[in-house]
Structure 1
Amino acid sequence: MGDRPHSVPPRSGRRSRCVLYCLPAQFLSSSVLASSDFASSVLDFTPAPGQFINNSIFNDPARALGPPVGGGTLAADNSKLVSLGGFAGSITLAFDHTVLDDPSNRFGIDAIVFGNAIWSSGNPRRRWAEAGIIEIALDANSNGLADDPWYPIRAPGLPPIPASALQSQLWDNNAGTPTPPANIAWYPSPVHYPGWPPSYITTAFRLPPIYEVNLLINPNGPAATLEAHWGLADLSPTLILGDLDADNLVDDPELTPAEFYTRPDNPFLVGITAESGGGDGFDIAWAVDPVSGAPAELPGFDFIRISTGVNFIAGILGELSTEVGGVADARPDESAFDLNADGRIDIEDLYTWHDLRDASDPAADLTGEGVIDDADRLMMTRCTRRDEVHDVH
């Protein structure tokens, strides 16, 4: 593969480790095969130097495929993760279908990225997290290749014009130069990355200093209920399978990974929403043109690229490096829109929503942002129209 297509200056000087990985047999559960709930192939893996990229436990990109393995809020399960290394190390994944901007997805969340972030001493306002940038692309030309424009998910940490945060980092394996990494053992080893060049460049959108810390703290205060950090990868814990209330105990041992890890958390509230599997969800509508900052208005995406968005060495802990354990297509949950509880979504629910809004009832806050606004109205309207079209057909 040549340089990855990008709607801003390309990532030059890079070498791709892999072109395509298929989902390994150990993760080919019937649920994944039948419903394609998770990203199923690796198109590119370009790690930046880091302490784990030469460790066989963390350098297999296929570990980002299929469902994640959750360890809970206090201790991550690192048995199924790939490390992207330092700044702008990246992985590009593909789904075997288009992930849609579905109006019936809970909180408007269309996809979920899983990593190994955890809470510090069980406090969701203080977390060990290594934030990653999320970009998506639609296979608009239907050729199965990630050669269409890429659009970043504009999280609060990115500026209105994301391209203004685009930075490049040169790396080499020469201990005699000031070029990082200072520890040459972190450079991609020929044992694991045959043919890797003696120097290369990685490029990504860099997050502000608030993310380049050992411990990520919610700036809204120690009693905050509103989340300040969302729209990025590797911020939130991946729960233990079947833990419905984030207490690190299994409540429903019968749940399958496809059922559990496709339930999004409300990204705007502190903590993890009941019955969610955790992870970091995003709305396709958050994608923007990196140069203009205008909404991308994508109907969906086929490819997702995740990059380490911080350039920071945390002392003896080593570099901050985004880890990825899976990416899910969130399953629709129409029950959240059946506001009159009659078992169907129709115009009566839209009328009910207006009544709830006029009464300032929290049930009208469908996006979960803590306010009732036009975004909630549009979501309810789209969901109603979709279901009425289905009824006609």
Structure 2
Amino acid sequence: MKINKHLLVLFAASLFIFGCKKDSVTAPDGKMGITENAITGKVNSKTELYAVSNNGKGFQHEWKLDGKVVSTAYNFAFTPTTAGTYIVDYKGYNEAGSFTYQYTITVPVPVVAATPTSSKFISKVFEYAPAPGQHINNASLGSPEQAQKLVGSTANMVSLGGFGGYIIFGFDHSVVNQTGADLAIYGNPFGPPYAFAEPGIVMVSQDKNGNGLPDDEWFELAGSEYAKATTIKNYEITYTNPKAAANVAWTDNQGNSGFVNNSAKRINFYPLFASNQEKITFKGTLLPSTLNNTGIVSNAAFDWGYTDSYSTGDDYKTNLYNSFDISWAVDATGKKVTLNTVDFVKVYTAQNVNAGILGEISTDVKGATDLNIK
């Protein structure tokens, strides 16, 4: 009995001690190394976020980036790879409680500022990917070497071929979205009485990931026809290489088919420098035909917002170029977006039209300038 009493006393004492120890655990007493909730970051640069204890007692950690757990250490090295707004949530916790903190980190688009020595002309052609056409594979109008001659000049010309054929270029600085027109793009349209336009759509992009390459989201500069029922969004066309000097067959996602007419049969109209020598597909916004083949063949210009178009809306007759405002930019859903600067420009042929003896409608580009640099 004495032994049992002693055991009971020891058991009661141990329960008391255990209970006291458990009750002595308190919620984390910590603080953040950076106390501002709103932080400005930089693409590809590290911002060190961390939590510390005020009383020397440890606790557990959890960091979430846009809702996903990214670290369970006391710190998190936030290194954004692209511009945007990010939410970082922190939780410090133990069995007795927790404390939380939230950061809103804004990472602006990298900007290459213009300097007194910056050029207003194209500084680099990133890609030339024409669709089949009568001038493609012609060294002086439809070759990669000719496309490179647009650098630093508006005196040379390159053809983009039929619908979807494109060229991508940039400047030695970011083009700033200022009041009014920001970009001038040169083509070779004809005005009345022998009006002949070969309209091209212009798209722009920002170097959001800071790698100097046009691999970020593209935005269309919505021209006068963008919202009209006759304009087809998300149009897609596929050309098949005839592997000969012959007509180039095409099919589209509207259930249509046809060919790029190669009546002269001099050379293959399919781009022989394309990476895919079997088929090539282009996507974009299709503008309606403005062809009139009664009498003298003509292809009328649209009012404004397209290149290689003798437009009245941007006074092509006086300027001898088509002008573009970055403020016209819309995303893939048609929603208007605000771009303070752009770094890359894409131009593509926007009509799928066979002009008979004059061949396919194919946008021509002679160069471009930043209108903010005089």
Q: Quickly name the TM-score band, shorter chain normalised.
A: 0.5 to 0.7
- Give the secondary-structure state (helix, strand or coil) at the position aligned to 2:260: coil
Alignment partners' CA distance in 2, 1:234 and 1:97: 24
- Contact 1:188 1:196 survives alignment (8 Å): no
- Contact 2:248 2:260 survives alignment (8 Å): no
Q: Which residue of 1 aligns with 2:117?
A: 34
Matched letter for residue 206 of structure 1: L
Offset at residue 94 of structure 1 (A)? 1.4
Alignment partners' CA distance in 1, 2:355 and 2:336: 35
- Give the secondary-structure state (helix, strand or coil) at the position aligned to 2:239: strand
Structure 1 runs of 4+ aligned residues shifted over 6 Å read 160-163
| 62, 66, 78: which one aligns with 2:148 | 62
Matched letter for residue 268 of structure 1: G
| 223, 227, 249: which one aligns with 1:159 | 227
The answer for unaligned runs of 5 or more in structure 1 is 1-31, 70-79, 219-227, 238-266, 334-393
The verdict on how the C-alpha distance between 1:194 and 1:128 changes in structure 2, with shifts beyond 3 A counting, is closer
Offset at residue 161 of structure 1 (A)? 10
Give me the TM-score of the superposition, normalised by structure 1: 0.55
| 220, 234, 247: which one aligns with 2:308 | 234
The verdict on how the C-alpha distance between 1:148 and 1:176 changes in structure 2, with shifts beyond 3 A counting, is closer
Percent identity, aligned pairs only, is 31
Matched letter for residue 136 of structure 1: V
Per-residue CA distance 1:53-109 (angstroms, 9 max, x = gap) = 12111022113322312xxxxxxxxxx100000110000111111000123xxxx01
Q: Which residue of 2 aligns with 1:47?
A: 130
The verdict on how the C-alpha distance between 1:139 and 1:212 changes in structure 2, with shifts beyond 3 A counting, is farther
Matched letter for residue 326 of structure 1: G
Q: Which residue of 1 aligns with 2:54?
A: none
- Give the secondary-structure state (helix, strand or coil) at the position aligned to 1:120: coil
- Contact 1:102 1:332 survives alignment (8 Å): no
Q: Which residue of 2 aligns with 1:181?
A: 260
Alignment partners' CA distance in 2, 1:324 and 1:86: 13
What are the residue-to-residue correspondences of 1:64-103 with 2, within 5 Å?
64-69=150-155, 80-103=156-179
Q: Which residue of 2 aligns with 1:146?
A: 214
- Higher-strand-fraction structure: 2
The verdict on how the C-alpha distance between 1:61 and 1:33 changes in structure 2, with shifts beyond 3 A counting, is farther
- Give the secondary-structure state (helix, strand or coil) at the position aligned to 1:128: coil
- Give the secondary-structure state (helix, strand or coil) at the position aligned to 2:117: helix
- Give the secondary-structure state (helix, strand or coil) at the position aligned to 2:195: strand
Q: Which residue of 1 aligns with 2:313?
A: 268
- Higher-helix-fraction structure: 1
Matched letter for residue 327 of structure 2: A
Matched letter for residue 156 of structure 1: S
What are the residue-to-residue correspondences of 1:110-121 with 2, within 5 Å?
110-121=182-193
What are the residue-to-residue correspondences of 1:1-393 with 2, within 5 Å?
34-59=117-142, 60-69=146-155, 80-103=156-179, 108-121=180-193, 127-159=195-227, 165-174=233-242, 179=250, 180-183=259-262, 185-188=267-270, 190=272, 193=273, 196-210=276-290, 214-217=297-300, 229-236=303-310, 268=313, 270=315, 272-273=317-318, 276=319, 278-291=320-333, 293-331=334-372
Per-residue CA distance 1:352-388 (angstroms, 9 max, x = gap) = xxxxxxxxxxxxxxxxxxxxxxxxxxxxxxxxxxxxx
The verdict on how the C-alpha distance between 1:37 and 1:332 changes in structure 2, with shifts beyond 3 A counting, is closer
Offset at residue 128 of structure 1 (A)? 1.3
Two-structure CA RMSD over aligned residues (Å): 3.0
Alignment partners' CA distance in 2, 1:137 and 1:298: 9
- Contact 1:163 1:290 survives alignment (8 Å): no
Per-residue CA distance 1:273-309 (angstroms, 9 max, x = gap) = 4xx4x20001100111121x22110001100000000
Offset at residue 141 of structure 1 (A)? 2.2
- Give the secondary-structure state (helix, strand or coil) at the position aligned to 2:209: coil
- Give the secondary-structure state (helix, strand or coil) at the position aligned to 2:148: helix
Alignment partners' CA distance in 2, 1:99 and 1:321: 27
The verdict on how the C-alpha distance between 1:135 and 1:199 changes in structure 2, with shifts beyond 3 A counting, is same
Give me the TM-score of the superposition, normalised by structure 2: 0.58
- Give the secondary-structure state (helix, strand or coil) at the position aligned to 2:127: strand
The verdict on how the C-alpha distance between 1:212 and 1:144 changes in structure 2, with shifts beyond 3 A counting, is farther
- Contact 2:126 2:169 survives alignment (8 Å): yes
Alignment partners' CA distance in 2, 1:235 and 1:198: 32
Per-residue CA distance 1:19-60 (angstroms, 9 max, x = gap) = xxxxxxxxxxxxx99332011111111110000012111022
The answer for unaligned runs of 5 or more in structure 2 is 1-114, 251-258
